[in-house]
Amino acid sequence: MSTVVQIKNVFKKFGSVKAVDGVSLEIEKGQFFSLLGPSGCGKTTLLRLIAGFEQPSSGELFIDNRSMYGVEPNLRPTNMVFQNYAIFPHLNVEQNVSYGLRKKNLSVMEKVEMIDQVLKLVGLSGLNHRSANELSGGQKQRVALARALILKPKVLLLDEPLSALDKKLREQMQLELRHLQRAVGITFVLVTHDQEEALTMSDKVAVMFDGRVEQVASPRTLYETPVSQRVASFIGEMNFISGNVLEANDRISVNSQILGKLSIPCSKVFGDVSEKQIKIGIRPESISIVANTAKKKGLISGIISDTSYFGETTYYKIECGSKADTIVVSAQNSFGQMDYKKGEKVKLETDFKSLVGFMG
Amino acid sequence: MSRSTKYLKVFAYTYLMFLYAPALLLPIFSFNASQVIAFPLTGFSTQWFETLLYQKTLHEALKNSLIVAISSSILATILGVLASRSATRYSFKGKQVSLTFILAPLVLPEIIVGVALLTVLKQMGLSLNLWSVILGHTLLIMPFSILIMNSAFNNFDISLEEASLDLGENQFGTFYRVILPLVLPGVIASLLIGFTLSLDEFIIAFFLTGTEVTLPVYIWSLFRFPKQLATVMALGTVLLIVSLILLSLSEYFRRRTATTKTPVL
């Protein structure tokens, strides 16, 4: 695998605001790469730096091993799908899609063939002469994709392309985009604030906060071993349970009021290991509720303080001892089965393999 | 209906009547058979319109007016497009000040502008001809042109421009293929308004004109001959109708500058 986008210690300041604060990234060829983070974390600025709409205040950017210093957007091997699609309203579908072909020396026949091919690819066959104003949101999105893909860019940049679509269409487009990316083999760089979107579509995700990249990893690694508490809570839900560090070797031994004595391998503990305090992270689905009568070592007792029903799962808030020690547990619902009620006493069983630790 | 809105309505209608009734007298007297501009009317006649066809000096003045109106509206529109494009797209030092100066002729008394221009041109040793009138009118039309183009450019979605650059087009190509087509209705509106303003402008034309007079200046000179008054009425009627048509057209095009902005998501 070779690297197609290389970002080296890039900073971008707008006045006194550091939008991008020292980012280094490598994006491999043919990958579906996502920049994930809350709004204002600098992910869109980073994308615009790659596209060339912004110039870095300092640092270097390479695309296909070529320095992009001072290279205008029209001369970069990148194309972008804009958040609002930016379909030219005075042109029809075909004119929009072929907009970038003018400068390439192609015969009319070649152009027609390319247009038909790309329209077929995005599922808009036959709509060549539809005017831009008559397109639905989903169709506009496809035109924007076709317009960019027809130029066969080294990197396709997507700026929150699905945020304007309704949930159903969004989920459908997520799958389609994923298939499309596999089919054309072009590197996709997607900006999104939707963690679910990032996880389902990407080969690799970079999580950004405050202009910095906090973690770059595959979706599974990101979910199972987040490197910080804020990554953990941005990617899904996580319980953080306090504990005292007893011993720190290749495993960190911890004593926790709720969970008792346990140990976590060093590779899954993040932060300064000389700290005495630790937060133990457990995903809600790594805890299961067992009947109050169950007799087994290591069970935690608690009282259900709140429940929320989500269809396939139910989330339970469970007080273990004091109010401050509330644990969130999610349980798969099976049809017709009785669930636990508010105020009910239950016991919890923890999957210790899934634990991660954050020092401090 | 309450009392106050009733009075308001009366006021509004009276106001409109005072504003437009004099203009209505033009067509009425232009079709009157008598040379004397007075009631009662003496009969229907189109002879004053016919005399328009044979007045050579009138035709000369009309030609001059058209040259001035077309040149100055084109000149002002080009300058207006450039100025409002830079005003809406870029931020630079002195932007507000220069905009204010460009818009100033909108509120400055024309007679002052006219005298000032005359003094400057004379000091520079330039002779007065149609070009001096064209320059004066350009100055006068530009504020209108900029205001029209500003609203066209303000409604322009920047990401369309970025999309064009992103698809490999350079700045010039982007202007030609995306920006211009989308603000074209504004350009046409500006041309039409400029043309109309220039066509019936008197004061600046009066000061800056040389031997080649424009239509309004020619009309003014006719007032010295009472016998010509009825012809002036006929000419006025024609100008009134042409102006109304041009203004309606320009309003139509101004509204056509539909917003290209998609709602922010």
Query: What confidence tens digit (pLDDT) does each residue in B180-227 have?
Result: 898 888 898 899 889 988 988 889 888 888 788 888 888 888 878 777
Instruction: Please check whether residue B163 touches A, CB under 8 A.
Output: yes
Instruction: Please check whether residue B170 touches A, CB under 8 A.
Output: yes
Which positions in chain A touch B175 (Cβ < 8 Å)? none
Report the percentage of chain B scoring pLDDT > 90.
23
Mutate which: B158, B165, B167, B260, vs A, most A CBs within 10 A: B167
Instruction: Please check whether residue B162 touches A, CB under 8 A.
Output: yes
Contact by Cβ (8 Å): B219, B236: yes
Q: Where residue B257 falls among pLDDT bands split at 50, 70, 90? A: low
Pick the closest to residue B197 from B180, B219, B214 (CA basis): B214
Smallest Cβ–Cβ distance between A89 and the set B164, B168, B260 belongs to B260
Please answer yes or no on whether A99 and B167 come within 8 Å at the CB atom. yes
Between B36 and A39, the more confident residue is A39
For residue A353, list its beta bridge partners. none
Residue B1: the pLDDT is 56
Please answer yes or no on whether B264 and A164 come within 8 Å at the CB atom. no
Report the percentage of chain B scoring pLDDT > 70.
95
Which positions in chain A touch B176 (Cβ < 8 Å)? none
Instruction: Please check whether residue B158 touches A, CB under 8 A.
Output: no
Q: Is the pLDDT at B76 greater than 90, yes or no? A: yes
CA closest to B160 among chain A residues: A86
Residue B79: the pLDDT is 94
Cα–chain center distance at B228: 27
| Whether ipTM exceeds 0.85 | no
Contact by Cβ (8 Å): B34, B42: yes
Instruction: Please check whether residue A89 touches B, CB under 8 A.
Output: yes
- Cα separation values, A78 from A72, A73, A289, A353, B40, Å: 11, 8, 50, 43, 79
Give dist(CA B50, CA A44) in Å, integer. Answer: 70
Number of A/B CB contacts below 8 angstroms equals 67
CA distance B185 to chain A (A): 12
For residue A243, list its beta bridge partners. A278
Angle B229-256/B180-199 helices, nearest 10 degrees?
A: 160
Angle B130-154/B180-199 helices, nearest 10 degrees?
A: 140
Residue B263: the pLDDT is 41
What pLDDT tens digit does each residue of chain A (360 aa) get?
A: 689 999 999 999 998 899 999 999 999 999 999 999 999 899 999 999 999 999 999 999 999 999 999 899 999 999 999 998 999 999 999 999 999 998 888 888 999 999 999 999 998 988 889 998 899 888 999 999 999 999 999 999 999 988 888 888 888 889 999 999 999 999 999 999 999 999 999 999 999 999 999 999 999 999 999 999 999 999 988 999 888 888 888 888 898 888 888 889 988 999 888 888 899 999 999 998 888 887 777 788 888 988 888 888 889 999 887 767 788 998 888 776 767 888 888 888 888 888 999 988
Instruction: Please check whether residue B251 touches A, CB under 8 A.
Output: no
Smallest Cβ–Cβ distance between A90 and the set B163, B168, B181 belongs to B181
Pick the closest to residue A290 from A325, A340, A326 (CA basis): A340
